[in-house]
Structure 1
Amino acid sequence: MGEEGGGRSCGTTRELQKLKQQALEYYRENDVPRRLEELLNSTFYLQPADVYGHLANCFSKLAKPPTIYKVVGKNVLDGLGLPTLQVEIFCTIQNFPKSICSVVISTHFEVHENALPELVEAEEVERADAVSTAVRWVNETITEELRGIEPSNQAGVDQVLRIFFENKVQEDKERKELEKSLEDSTVPVPSPLTQPPPPPLPPDKKKGQKQGRRDTFTEKPILPPEPDEHVLCGSMAIGAVSLAVAKTGAMLDGNPLYLNIALLKHHQPPPPKTETKRGHNGGKRGQQQIIGKMSHLGCLTINYDTIEQPLLLIQGICANLGLELGRNLHLAINCAAHELMDYSKGKYEVMMGTYKNAAEMVDLYVDLINKFPSIIALIDPFRKEDSEPWDSIYDALGARCYLIAGTASKSISKLLEDGNIGVLKYSGLIIKHTNQTTMSDLVEITNLMDSKKHIAVFGSTEGESSDDSLVDLAVGLGVRFIKLGGLSRGERVTKYNRLLTIEEELVQNGTLGFTEEHTFFYLNEEAEKAAVAGELPEPLELIFPTEVLEESTRT
């Protein structure tokens, strides 16, 4: 026993001597004694606390860069009091774990007003399951997969998340196939005498229907709505963690998030020229109060007898505030055509009891733009199933206003998977950071849109939180517009305040340039030729040149 204990003691002594020798060699190689001597000489007249502070700074330069220690997922409430996901990042900094930041991601679930109780209850269950699954993914597998990765390595983090998500998709596919095979094995084979019910006959054409351009779209049956894209339960964990890591990297670098996003995009060719628009505030107060119902989106819902009435109301409000429509303020109309379609009639119900077919809708939009040229964008003027009407309205209005696909567009992951964003004829898309969308995905989709000369609009989802990161994402990605909703509730006002703060920073840095006139660029060949010929003024620009980006990373 004594010999065995003595052997262990000798072994321990040799290990300590070896460690001391390695430390001595490290100090000599890094010239630590000389550095300490210089530091002590330079701090001779300082207080002991200052000396220790300088010593700490000296040794901190020799420390390893911060790495991800753990990722924590939590179930929190969004602005509507509904469950959503919060992700917090802890990093190892100088051998100690430290909480750096947290983000809250918005869910993709829509909020339906006046919905049936059973539908509301079913969606509540689905939402709770999605959030709890995402929390489990973050706290179990994702935190293990990301431990030890530097938060500045956004591409590496997103790649890990992408592989993890692909594995989950494959597991979900295999589970559904197994369930289907079990169901098929238990379902009895129908008798040969049993015949399936005949398909419903197409609706008869109305008598006396006129032929011609106005009814070209109604000659064909109205296509049913496409099924919603499948969203994998728990997928919000991917987007939330990717955003949290991006924010962590920005904070550790001492940069605002929008600058780090711009750096991420800038370093992926081709380097785009980003654009933004200056906000206008101020004006007179004391206009007459308008009574109406405020929706959960911050929209004032009022009754009207004609389509022009709400626009005339806006004109009057702007006049009272001293704002000029078409100069100080421009309008975008969210048509939400998918909500207007009456499938029993095969027409759009633009007002209570007023129905129009696709060709009549084109005429309506053209007439509206003629009367109100301050309208610079129409969002979802038709359903995504109506490709011919999209072609028609683009030919009629493509050079006069932006035609934006929101609900009519596919998700970012589906667009990137297909590699084709031009399914419909539109000027631009509304993109949102939800579900499995990573920072790398946002950079890729905006680069693709830039290459196709499509306008990018960064939009918020209905279930928002007070996290204002999406404003930084919009600015860093260089999108043309941001869609935040009405000025109501703290979680939305917070984002407007963040937008104003960023604008002030960019003005002070000389990064943001302005023009008073709004112009359309590259909507079609005629507009592009006019821009090249110098007939149109320069657009607003948010410029991150190479030297500025590189200098920001050095400082």
Structure 2
Amino acid sequence: MEAGGRRARRREAAEYYRGQRVPERMEEALNALFPLSPGDLYGELANYLSKYSKAPVICKIVGRKVLDGVGQPTLEVEIYCTVKNYEKRICSTVMSFHSQIPENALPETIEAAEKERNDSVNTAVEWVNESLNTMLRDLEPTDQCEVDKMLGEYFTNKVEEKKEIQRQEEEEEEEAEATLALPPRSPSPATPPGKKKSAKSGKKSSVAERPIPPAETAEPVLSGSLAIGGTSLAIARAGATVSHIPLYSHIALLKRGQESPEEITLPLPMVTLLNCEKMSSSKLKLVKEVMLIPPVQLSLKQGIERVLDIQKEMTRLLESPGKMPGPQPADGKKGKAQNSGKKSLPQFLKRISHLGCLTTGYDDVEQLLLVMQAACSNIGLELGTDVYLAINCAAHELMDYDKGKYEILTGTFKSPDEMVAMYGELIDKFPFIIALIDPLRKEDREQWSNICCALGSKCYLIAEDAATCISKLKIDQNINTPMCSGVVLKYVNQTKVSDLIELTGILHGQRHITILGSPDGESSDDSLVDLAVGLGARFIKLGGLSRGERVTKYNRLLAIEEELAKNGNLRETKLEFVAFAEETQPENQLSDELPPPEQD
């Protein structure tokens, strides 16, 4: 009887395990232990086990030639990683190519530069697909420092190879000349930059004027250097992607040694409203760009909307000059300037600049500023209270080296010392101008010091041309620029993410402000915005509110603002100027904070 009972129980057990009741009972037990659905439970288990899986590593880097926003070739870098034993495309970045061709360059100069650019991009694609692809394989994309170190060493080797090739070519040329017994070549009789021709007979010359410093030799750009910057930025974006955080958060962590900031300040936009092109074959005039800066008390979204309103009114005025009311005389309020007489309206060109803004010509600076005042007044805004101006002077494009003076208007010349006095009068008359970019050449260091002491407590004096080559900016923990309020940094050529992190740390430690700037030849890649936010830049200079490659970046900035506000991490910025003349002033003491705008 007992044996029969055992057999019956075994038979019941076999039927139990053979039937469908096992998974049902298992699910009941799991639900009792973990009140989750099976799908959620398996997901939680996968997330738990993923902590113990191997970290993603780079398995492939792909470079290709693509077009930028103005139809010129540039570099795209694509990153693939091995994630849980599978090859996966992580991200890609498109580099912006920085053009150093002045707007009044000759056609043959432009043609030669375009050929050089095309060759450089082809070389960069070759570097990425061959050397860099092999060199960076199996590295973790989150290890930015190690990646940038290897990229820096690779670039240094390429520079040395180039120097060696040039040295050999020079030796071969000398040997060939010696073999042919050619006479040595005499130096060119052309006047070098910075030296004045002797005065012609019958013309007066000023003996009191000092010679200007010659223009510094432009730093040569190694063909293919775009591969270094493009790969570094692509790795940074890949590191953010595999860490499941935004790129700006990843950059902020890299800058702060993996310490997450409690609050983040958004950079204020310098929105280009007007691109003031030359109207003839003469040099550019004193103003290259007119930019609007919204007040800090507005949200970024409100500030952009205000700029758009001003842009619409400016377009209306410039297209219908007869309907524009004459500027009003000064009434004592900040931002109002006296009307020194009737001014004809600037000539308007009905097209959008490559900077994404309106183009216009003018006879003098006052014309532009008075039209700006009228446009703001028509929509109930006041310059200096509801919005501020920044002016890009691009003074390095104005110098006449034969005369040793700046040609600020056709036939109107001023010495560097006279330029300082002129800017002082301009800011006194139009105090709503709170930033001057490149008011002087970088070589006029004495005048930079003078203008900073005279105007540093009233506006920002920004160096852009002096900051073109980031690798030369820092020397022994110092900034190799003239005295200034800050610099415009652009992510181009062999710039690496680690370079920007180190450089902005030095700049901020020396009371300089940082402006992340957008190169002339832009792409639709919006990484620049995340870089500016993560690095803590004070301003961001993206061009105008037209053209897709420009608007994409403004949209990214708006998205970051919304995300930070939602998370409670958004901190209000401040606009403060440094009183350079007060040398005894403590380093952390700033002056002249701008007043808040009038509330509606």
Q: Is contact 2:453-2:579 (8 Å) kept?
A: no
The structural deviation recorded for 1:500 is: 1.6
Q: Select the residue among 108, 114, 118 that pairs with 2:108.
A: 118
User: Which residue of structure 2 lines up, in the alignment, with residue 20 of structure 1?
Assistant: none
Select between 180-189 and 128-137 the one with higher mean Cα deviation. 180-189
Q: Is contact 2:474-2:480 (8 Å) kept?
A: no
The structural deviation recorded for 1:133 is: 0.8
The structural deviation recorded for 1:521 is: 4.3
C-alpha spacing 1:382/1:536, structure 2 compared with 1 (3 Å): closer
Q: Select the residue among 300, 305, 308 that pairs with 1:282.
A: 305
Describe the SS at the equivalent of 1:228: coil
CA RMSD of aligned residues (A): 3.3
Deviations 1:48-101 (A, max 9, x none): x66655554454333111111111111000000100000111011000000011
One-letter amino acid matched to 1:290? L
How do 1:441-480 and structure 2 match up within 5 A?
Answer: 441-480=499-538
Q: Select the residue among 319, 338, 346 that pairs with 2:404.
A: 346
Supply the distance in 2 between the matched residues of 1:447 and 1:374 (Cα, whole angstroms): 30
Describe the SS at the equivalent of 2:479: coil
The structural deviation recorded for 1:234 is: 0.7
Supply the distance in 2 between the matched residues of 1:399 and 1:45 (Cα, whole angstroms): 63
How do 1:11-22 and structure 2 match up within 5 A?
Answer: none
Supply the distance in 2 between the matched residues of 1:37 and 1:145 (Cα, whole angstroms): 53
Supply the distance in 2 between the matched residues of 1:408 and 1:363 (Cα, whole angstroms): 22
Q: Percent same amino acid among aligned pairs?
A: 51
Q: Is contact 1:266-1:272 (8 Å) kept?
A: no
How do 1:118-517 and structure 2 match up within 5 A?
Answer: 118-188=108-178, 202-204=197-199, 219-267=209-257, 275=265, 276-277=267-268, 278=296, 279=300, 280-283=303-306, 287=313, 288-291=316-319, 292-293=348-349, 294-416=352-474, 419-514=477-572
Q: Is contact 1:272-1:450 (8 Å) kept?
A: no
Q: Is contact 1:399-1:527 (8 Å) kept?
A: no
Describe the SS at the equivalent of 2:158: helix
One-letter amino acid matched to 1:447? G
User: Which residue of structure 1 lines up, in the alignment, with residue 82 of structure 2?
Assistant: 92
One-letter amino acid matched to 2:576? T
User: Which residue of structure 1 lines up, in the alignment, with residue 582 of structure 2?
Assistant: 525
TM-score scaled by length of structure 2: 0.75
- 1:109 maps onto 2:105 in alignment: no
Supply the distance in 2 between the matched residues of 1:474 and 1:296 (Cα, whole angstroms): 22
The structural deviation recorded for 1:416 is: 3.0
Describe the SS at the equivalent of 2:305: coil
The structural deviation recorded for 1:476 is: 0.5
Deviations 1:446-495 (A, max 9, x none): 01111211111111111110101101101110011111112220000111
Describe the SS at the equivalent of 1:73: strand
Unaligned segments of structure 2, at least 5 residues = 1-26, 269-295, 320-347
C-alpha spacing 1:352/1:71, structure 2 compared with 1 (3 Å): same
Describe the SS at the equivalent of 1:281: helix
C-alpha spacing 1:232/1:195, structure 2 compared with 1 (3 Å): closer
C-alpha spacing 1:184/1:528, structure 2 compared with 1 (3 Å): same
One-letter amino acid matched to 1:146? L
Supply the distance in 2 between the matched residues of 1:195 and 1:58 (Cα, whole angstroms): 76
How do 1:67-78 and structure 2 match up within 5 A?
Answer: 67-78=57-68
C-alpha spacing 1:175/1:98, structure 2 compared with 1 (3 Å): same
Describe the SS at the equivalent of 2:465: coil
Deviations 1:341-390 (A, max 9, x none): 12232221111222212222112101110011111111111111222221
Describe the SS at the equivalent of 2:304: coil
C-alpha spacing 1:111/1:192, structure 2 compared with 1 (3 Å): closer
Q: Is contact 1:66-1:94 (8 Å) kept?
A: yes
Supply the distance in 2 between the matched residues of 1:256 and 1:178 (Cα, whole angstroms): 48
Q: Is contact 1:40-1:51 (8 Å) kept?
A: no
One-letter amino acid matched to 1:439? V
Supply the distance in 1 between the matched residues of 2:57 and 2:83 (Cα, whole angstroms): 7
Supply the distance in 2 between the matched residues of 1:40 and 1:185 (Cα, whole angstroms): 88
The structural deviation recorded for 1:301 is: 3.0
The structural deviation recorded for 1:153 is: 0.9
C-alpha spacing 1:194/1:428, structure 2 compared with 1 (3 Å): closer
Describe the SS at the equivalent of 1:394: helix
Supply the distance in 2 between the matched residues of 1:476 and 1:100 (Cα, whole angstroms): 20
Supply the distance in 1 between the matched residues of 2:506 and 2:262 (Cα, whole angstroms): 10
Supply the distance in 2 between the matched residues of 1:118 and 1:207 (Cα, whole angstroms): 34
Supply the distance in 2 between the matched residues of 1:387 and 1:534 (Cα, whole angstroms): 24
Describe the SS at the equivalent of 1:408: helix
Supply the distance in 1 between the matched residues of 2:53 and 2:217 (Cα, whole angstroms): 53
Supply the distance in 1 between the matched residues of 2:396 and 2:592 (Cα, whole angstroms): 37
Describe the SS at the equivalent of 2:406: strand
Number of matched residues?
Answer: 495
C-alpha spacing 1:521/1:385, structure 2 compared with 1 (3 Å): closer
Supply the distance in 1 between the matched residues of 2:188 and 2:524 (Cα, whole angstroms): 52
Deviations 1:485-534 (A, max 9, x none): 1222000011111112212222233322337x743246553795697499
Supply the distance in 1 between the matched residues of 2:543 and 2:448 (Cα, whole angstroms): 25
Supply the distance in 1 between the matched residues of 2:127 and 2:234 (Cα, whole angstroms): 15
One-letter amino acid matched to 1:409? A
TM-score scaled by length of structure 1: 0.81
C-alpha spacing 1:78/1:192, structure 2 compared with 1 (3 Å): closer
Describe the SS at the equivalent of 2:174: helix
Q: Is contact 1:109-1:463 (8 Å) kept?
A: yes
